[in-house]
């Protein structure tokens, strides 16, 4: 077993801690008026709901006020890392000359933290043990990227770094999906093809056998997966906005994030991997 620890609170720096952040996502990121946001906001412009203490003024009412998108965004801890480590507690408010640079660094550092999160997940899974040595070798190099100074962060070729890690993540996915529970004779007849891309947009997969499926990069907006058996599926990059997951079995899933669950619709009967939590808005 690798010496890298992954689960939940053992790695708080990969989880968003708004108390230690300067409200960066509320300023740096743009959004357009839609079902996720109540109005348009440009990059670098503070959201009107952001208070002077860098806290959201409608945090407990975001969904009711039309800001569902805010409740599903996850910076993977990049916000507090930039605020307290990279910029050593110097806020964009008190040091406006650094504001634009800080905002530009947020999406870069977020991608690095996301990669680290995926790597740690693989390193904690017994069913991917054959890849642990290879991941242990490249992990320190990726982790060091998160310690770079702002100018160096902005010069990174993130696409190249993601490609180097992705080869191992794909192998991990294949091992996890290959270890999915075998289909029963009854379910084999209805085995759903493991499509990718836009095939699942609004699809009706209620009760489907999706064990070991690959949903990498799939658009699953408003798809119906109620009571589906999706154990050991790969969810990396899947868009689960308004995906119906009530009663679905997602145990053993790989690369499924809390933000993806927050964007979906489920209930207390939805079965999740142990390191993920049932979103508060699920019923």
pTM: 0.88
| Three-state SS sequence of 13-47 | HHCCCHHHCCCCHHHHCCECCCCCCCCCECCCCCC
Residue 156, Ramachandran bin (φ over 0: left; ψ between -120 and 50: alpha; else beta): beta
As a whole number of angstroms, the distance between CA 214 and CA 169 comes to 12
Residue 164 has a pLDDT of 87
Q: Collect all residues with Cβ–Cβ distance below 8 Å to 259 and sequence separation of at least 6.
A: 72, 73, 74
Which has the closest alpha carbon to 176: 115, 251, 243? 251
The domains found in the chain, sorted by start residue, are 8-29+73-177 (no CATH), 180-283 (2.160.20.80)
The structure tokens listed for 210 are 């999706």
How confident is the model over 47-98, as pLDDT tens digits?
Answer: 999 999 999 999 999 999 999 999 999 999 999 999 999 999 999 999 999 9
Residue 44, Ramachandran bin (φ over 0: left; ψ between -120 and 50: alpha; else beta): left
Q: Collect all residues with Cβ–Cβ distance below 8 Å to 149 and sequence separation of at least 6.
A: 86
How confident is the model over 40-59, as pLDDT tens digits?
Answer: 999 999 999 999 999 999 99
How confident is the model over 182-239, as pLDDT tens digits?
Answer: 754 334 334 444 444 557 999 999 999 999 999 999 999 999 999 999 999 999 999 9
């Amino acid at each position: 077993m690798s010496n890298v620890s992954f689960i939940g609170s053992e790695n708080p720096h990969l989880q968003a801690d708004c108390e230690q952040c300067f409200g960066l996502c509320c300023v740096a990121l743009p959004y357009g008026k839609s079902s996720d946001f109540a109005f348009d906001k440009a990059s670098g412009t503070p959201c009107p709901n952001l208070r002077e203490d860098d806290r959201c003024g409608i945090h407990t009412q975001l969904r009711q006020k039309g800001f569902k998108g805010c409740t599903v965004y996850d910076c993977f801890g990049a916000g507090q890392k930039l605020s307290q480590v990279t910029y050593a507690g110097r806020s964009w408010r008190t040091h406006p000359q650094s504001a634009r640079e800080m905002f530009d660094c947020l999406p870069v550092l977020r991608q690095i933290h996301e990669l680290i999160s995926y790597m740690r997940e693989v390193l904690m899974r017994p069913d991917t043990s054959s890849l642990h040595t290879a991941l242990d070798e490249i992990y320190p190099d990726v982790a060091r990227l998160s310690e770079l100074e702002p100018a160096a962060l902005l010069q990174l070729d993130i696409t190249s770094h993601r490609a180097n890690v992705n080869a191992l993540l794909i192998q991990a996915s294949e091992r996890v999906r290959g270890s999915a529970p075998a289909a029963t004779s009854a379910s084999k007849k209805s085995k759903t093809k493991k499509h990718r891309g836009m095939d699942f947009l609004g699809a009706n997969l209620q009760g489907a056998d999706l064990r070991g499926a690959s949903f990498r990069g799939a658009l699953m907006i408003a798809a119906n997966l109620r009571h589906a058996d999706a154990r050991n599926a790969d969810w990396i990059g899947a868009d689960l906005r308004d995906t119906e997951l009530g009663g679905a079995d997602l145990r053993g899933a790989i690369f499924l994030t809390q933000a993806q669950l927050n964007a979906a619709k489920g209930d207390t009967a939805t079965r999740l991997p142990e390191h993920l939590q049932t979103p508060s808005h699920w019923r």
